[in-house]
Structure 1
Amino acid sequence: MPWLAMMGVSVFEYGFGAAEKTLEHQHGWTLTQTFWLVSIWAVFQAGIAFPAGRLREKGIVSAKAAMLTGAVLCFLAFFVLGITSNLLVNILFYSVAGGIGAGLVYATCINMVGKWYPEKRGGKTGFVNGGFAYGALPFIFVFSYLFNAHNYTWIMGLVGLYMFIVVGACGFLFRDPPKNWWPAEVDPMNASAQPKSARSLRVNPPATKQYTPMEAIKSGQLPLLWLSLAVIGGVSLFGIGFQVPFAKSLGFGPFVAASSAGVLAVVNGIGRGVVGWLSDQIGRKQALILVLVVEGVAQFGLLWSGNSHNEVLFIAFAFLAGFGGGAFYPMYAALTPDYFGENNNASNYGLVYSAKLVSSVFGLGLASGVVSAWGYTGAYTMAGFVAFGSAILALFLKQPGRRKPVRNAAPATSNTTAGQAT
C-alpha cells in the first residue's frame, strides 16, 4: 500500500518537466515562473516532514489521517491548476497545498515501511521509494503527446481524481506497528538462524540507542546527512525538471525527449529498489557513495552526448542519471534509523529530508536562472561537480556511539522485543 500511494503522487515532481511547455503556453507564464511553481512545491513537500512526524509520534495525527488529508490536498492542487491561470492562486494550491499533501504521503509511507521491516530496511524502503519516480511514467507520455489547450482542464482534473482515489484508498488501511516492534520470526541474537537478515544487520548494525532529534543533531551526523542530501538533491531535481527542456533545445524530437524523461523516471525508481537491496549486502554508506559518483558522471555524460547530438548515448546517460538521481533517497531514509533508531524516526528523518527545502530552491528555481544565463553547458557542468562534492561529504558519515565494527547481528538497544512493543 505505501508503494501504490507513492506512485500516486509521483506525477507532481517527475511529470512536471514534460508538462512544462504546455503550462507556459496555456497560462502565459515564463520558464522561470513555471519552474518556481514546482520549486516552491518541493519546499513545502519537504518542509512538512518534520512537523508531521512530530505530530504522528505524539499520537496527535494518525497515519490514516495524514494520508487522507494528503489525498484531498493533492486533488485540489491539480483541479485548481486546470481551471485558472492566476500564478498566485496556483502557488497557494499547487505549490503550498499540493506540496503539503504530497509531503504527508511521502513521509508517512517511508517511515511506515521502515518500522515494519527493521531487519531489512534498505530493500523494502528502496522498493517503496521507487514508486515515487516510475509511477509518473504514463503521465510523462500523456503530457508529451496528448496534453494541449483543448483537453487541458479535463486532464488536470482526472490526474487529481486519480491521486485522490489511489492515495485515499491506501491511506484508509494504514496502521503503524507498536513502539519497539521487531518481527517475531527474526532472532537478532541468533545470526545462523536467519542468514539473509543477519547479513544486513552485520553490515548495517542497529543504532546504539534511540536518539531524540536534539541528540541526533548534537551527534554531528544528522547535520552531515542533511548537508549531503541538500547538495545531491539539487542535482537530482535539476535533472528531473530540465531533462525534457534540454532534449528539446538540442532539436531532439518529442519521442526522444519523452523517452529520455521516461527512462530517467523508470530507472530512477527501479534504481532505488536495487540500491536498497545492495545496501543490505555491502552496507548503506558504501552504496550511497557509489550512487553519488554515478550521478556525477551522468551529468557530464548527458552534456557531452547532447552537445554531440547523439540520441542513443543521450538515452544511455539518461539511464545513468535516472539511476543515480533517485537511488540516494532510500539510502538517507534507511541510514537515519540505522544511526538514530526507529522510535523517533519520523522526526529525525523529517529533519534530514528537510534538506530538500534547499535543494528545491537551487535545483529548480535558481537553476532556471543559471540555464538562462550560462546555458545548459554551464548548468550541467556545475551539476556534475556538485554531485562529486556530495560523495566527498558522504565519506565522513559514521554511526554515532559505535567505536568498533560490529561482530554479531545483535541490536544494541535492550528494549526491543520480538513481535510486540515492550
Structure 2
Amino acid sequence: MSETPQATSSSYREVADANGRIYRIGESDRSILGRPRAWMVWLPWIAMMGVSVYEYGYSSAEATLEHAHGWTLTEAFWIASIWAVFQAGVAFPAGRLRETGKLSAKTGMLLGAVLSGLGFLSISHVSNPIVVILGYSVLGGAGSGLVYATCINMVGKWYPDNKGARTGFVNGGFAYGTLPLIFVFSYWFHADNYRLVLDIIALGMVLLVGACGFFFRDPPKSWWPHDVDPLNRGGGEDAERVARRLRKNPPAKGQFTPMQAIRTGQLPLMWFALVCIGGVSLFGINFQVPFAKSLGFGPLIAASSAGVLAVVNGVGRAAVGWLSDTLGRRQTLTLVLVIAGVAQFGVLWSGQAHNEPLFLIFAFVNGFGGGAFYPLFAALVPDYFGENNNATNYGLVYSAKLVGGVGGGGVAASVISTWGYAGGYYLAGGIAFLSALITLLLRQPGRPADQERPAAPAVADSLGLTGAAN
C-alpha cells in the first residue's frame, strides 16, 4: 500500500479565526511522530491500565494488608486518602514544568513508572503506617499522578478535533485495567503470599509504563491535524461531522493562561464541582467492597461488585466521551453527576435489602456515574480555555481531587465509624446532587450563553478565516 505524501516539520502556516485563536496547520502526525497519532491513544491507554491498580484495586487488597501489617481500617484508608492527595496534587506542577519545556512527556512517564513501582514495594515490605504513607502515598501517588496527567494531556494535544471520544477511551483504562487484579486480591491474595504478588505488580508496572512512555512526544504549540480544517470551510461527510461537534462544543475563544482561566470564574467552578464528585467517587471505590462484606455477601459478590464498578467505570468514560461530542460536554456532565447521586442511594438500599442481584445492578450504575465525569472535565477544560496551556489548566482543575480524596477516604472512614454506612451513603448522594447543580452554572468564557451552540451551517462563518500563511 502506498503512503500519501507527508508534510515536513517546516511546511506549516498559522491561521487565525475571528476570535484571534491561532491554528498551526500543514504538518501531518507522521511528519512529527514518525507514526500515526493513533499511537498517542493506544500507548497512553495501556499506561493508564498499568497504574489503575492504585485507585481501583486497593479496596480489594485492603483487608489482607490490614491483617498482614496490623493496620486499623482508619489507618488503611488514610493511606489511600493521602495517596489521592499526591496523585492529584502532582498534576499542576508537572503540567507547569511540561508547558515551560522543563519536563518532557517521555521523562515524566519514565519518572512516573519508577515512582509507581516504589510505591507498591513499600506496601509489600513495610508495616509502619508513616513509612508506608511516604512510600505508597507520596511516591506512589506522585508517580501514578505523573502517568495519569501526562496521558490525559497527551491525548488532548494530539486530538484537538475529537477530544471527547479519545480522552474518554484513554481515561477508561484507569478503571477497568485493574479488573484481573481485583479477583487476584479477592481470591489468591493472603498473608502468606502478599509480598510476592505486590512485588510482581510493582515490576510489571515499571516495565509496562516505562515502555509506553519511551515513545511519548508532544505536538507543536497550536498544532491542528493537517487533514481536518479547523474552520470547517470544506464540504463532504467529514465536514458535516466536524460541524456537528463544533456546534455542540465550540472551540475555546482563545488560549487562556492559568491566571486568565481563573479570572473567568469558570475554572474555580469546575474545581469545586470536581471536589464534590471526586470525593463521592473515591468513597464508592474505597467502601463498596467493605460494605458488601459487612452485609454478609460472599467474596464472589464483593469481588464482582468491585469488578463491575471498575469495568463500567472505565467503559462509561469512553461512552460519555463519545456522547459528549454529540449531546454537548456540559450537558453530558450534568447528566452523569445526577446518575452518580442516584447510584449512592441505590447501592445503600439494595444492600440493606440484602438483594444481591439488585446490589450488582446499582454497583453497575455506581461504576458509570462514579468515573465518567473525569474525561468530561478533561475535555471541557481545553474546550473552555484552549489546548496550549491545557497541562497546567487541567492540572489546576484536577487538583480538586486533593480535597475530594481526603473526603472520600479518611474522612469517610470516620463518618462510617460514627454514622454507619447509611450515613456515609446518604451524605455521598447529597454531595453528588450538589455537584450536578454547580455544573449548570458553567459557561464557555467569552461566549454568551445564547451563542454557545451556533447553528451548524453558521459554524464556518462564525469562525471566519482572518489569518495568513506564516
TM-score normalized with structure 2 length = 0.87
Structure of higher CA gyration radius: 2
Q: Conserved in 1, the CA contact under 8 Å of 2:348 and 2:425?
A: yes
**1:58-69 correspondence to structure 2 within 5 Å:** 58-69=100-111
Would you say 1:346 and 2:391 are equivalent positions? Answer: yes
Would you say 1:157 and 2:199 are equivalent positions? Answer: yes
Q: Where does residue 411 of structure 2 map in the other structure? A: 366
User: Closer, same or farther in 2 for the Cα pair 1:372/1:413, shift >3 Å?
Assistant: farther
Q: Where does residue 37 of structure 1 map in the other structure? A: 79
Would you say 1:391 and 2:436 are equivalent positions? Answer: yes
**1:84-163 correspondence to structure 2 within 5 Å:** 84-163=126-205
Task: Name the CA distance, whole Å, in 1 between partners of 2:464 and 2:331.
Answer: 24
Q: Conserved in 2, the CA contact under 8 Å of 1:41 and 1:99?
A: yes
Would you say 1:253 and 2:295 are equivalent positions? Answer: no
Match of 2:242 among 185, 192, 197: 197
One-letter amino acid of the counterpart of residue 394, structure 2 = Y
Task: Name the CA distance, whole Å, in 1 between partners of 2:111 and 2:60.
Answer: 27
**1:260-299 correspondence to structure 2 within 5 Å:** 260-299=305-344
Q: Secondary structure at the match of 1:326?
A: coil
User: Closer, same or farther in 2 for the Cα pair 1:153/1:101, shift >3 Å?
Assistant: same
Query: What whole-Å deviation, never above 9, does each CA across 1:324-357 have from its counterpart, x for those lacking one?
Result: 0000000000000000000000000000000000
Query: What whole-Å deviation, never above 9, does each CA across 1:278-297 have from its counterpart, x for those lacking one?
Result: 00001000100110000000
Q: Where does residue 14 of structure 1 map in the other structure? A: 56
One-letter amino acid of the counterpart of residue 371, structure 2 = G
Task: Name the CA distance, whole Å, in 2 between partners of 1:297 and 1:88.
Answer: 37
Task: Name the CA distance, whole Å, in 1 between partners of 2:465 and 2:395.
Answer: 25
One-letter amino acid of the counterpart of residue 254, structure 1 = P
- Unpaired segments ≥5 residues, structure 2: 1-42
Cα RMSD, aligned residues only: 1.5
CA drift at 1:120: 1.1
One-letter amino acid of the counterpart of residue 379, structure 1 = G
Q: Secondary structure at the match of 1:54?
A: helix
Query: What whole-Å deviation, never above 9, does each CA across 1:144-168 have from its counterpart, x for those lacking one?
Result: 0000111111011001011101100
Q: Where does residue 317 of structure 1 map in the other structure? A: 362
Q: Conserved in 2, the CA contact under 8 Å of 1:182 and 1:416?
A: no
Query: What whole-Å deviation, never above 9, does each CA across 1:301-320 have from its counterpart, x for those lacking one?
Result: 01110000000000000000
Q: Where does residue 273 of structure 2 map in the other structure? A: 228
- Unpaired segments ≥5 residues, structure 1: none
Q: Secondary structure at the match of 1:142?
A: helix
Query: What whole-Å deviation, never above 9, does each CA across 1:200-244 have from its counterpart, x for those lacking one?
Result: 111000000110000000000000000000000000000000010
One-letter amino acid of the counterpart of residue 328, structure 1 = F
Task: Name the CA distance, whole Å, in 2 between partners of 1:299 and 1:171.
Answer: 36
Match of 2:353 among 284, 308, 325: 308
Would you say 1:23 and 2:65 are equivalent positions? Answer: yes
Task: Name the CA distance, whole Å, in 1 between partners of 2:434 and 2:100.
Answer: 37
Q: Conserved in 1, the CA contact under 8 Å of 2:156 and 2:163?
A: yes
Q: Conserved in 2, the CA contact under 8 Å of 1:268 and 1:326?
A: yes
**1:45-56 correspondence to structure 2 within 5 Å:** 45-56=87-98
One-letter amino acid of the counterpart of residue 344, structure 2 = Q
Aligned residues: 419
CA drift at 1:414: 7.3
Q: Secondary structure at the match of 2:107?
A: helix
Q: Conserved in 2, the CA contact under 8 Å of 1:75 and 1:163?
A: yes
One-letter amino acid of the counterpart of residue 107, structure 1 = A
CA drift at 1:86: 1.4
Task: Name the CA distance, whole Å, in 2 between partners of 1:59 and 1:310.
Answer: 54
Would you say 1:401 and 2:446 are equivalent positions? Answer: yes
User: Closer, same or farther in 2 for the Cα pair 1:38/1:204, shift >3 Å?
Assistant: same
Aligned identity (percent) is: 66
Q: Conserved in 2, the CA contact under 8 Å of 1:188 and 1:198?
A: no
CA drift at 1:300: 0.5
One-letter amino acid of the counterpart of residue 128, structure 1 = V
CA drift at 1:184: 1.1
User: Closer, same or farther in 2 for the Cα pair 1:415/1:116, shift >3 Å?
Assistant: farther
User: Closer, same or farther in 2 for the Cα pair 1:77/1:398, shift >3 Å?
Assistant: same
One-letter amino acid of the counterpart of residue 59, structure 1 = G
Would you say 1:72 and 2:114 are equivalent positions? Answer: yes
**Would you identify which runs of 4 or more consecutive aligned residues in structure 1 move more than 6 Å?**
413-418
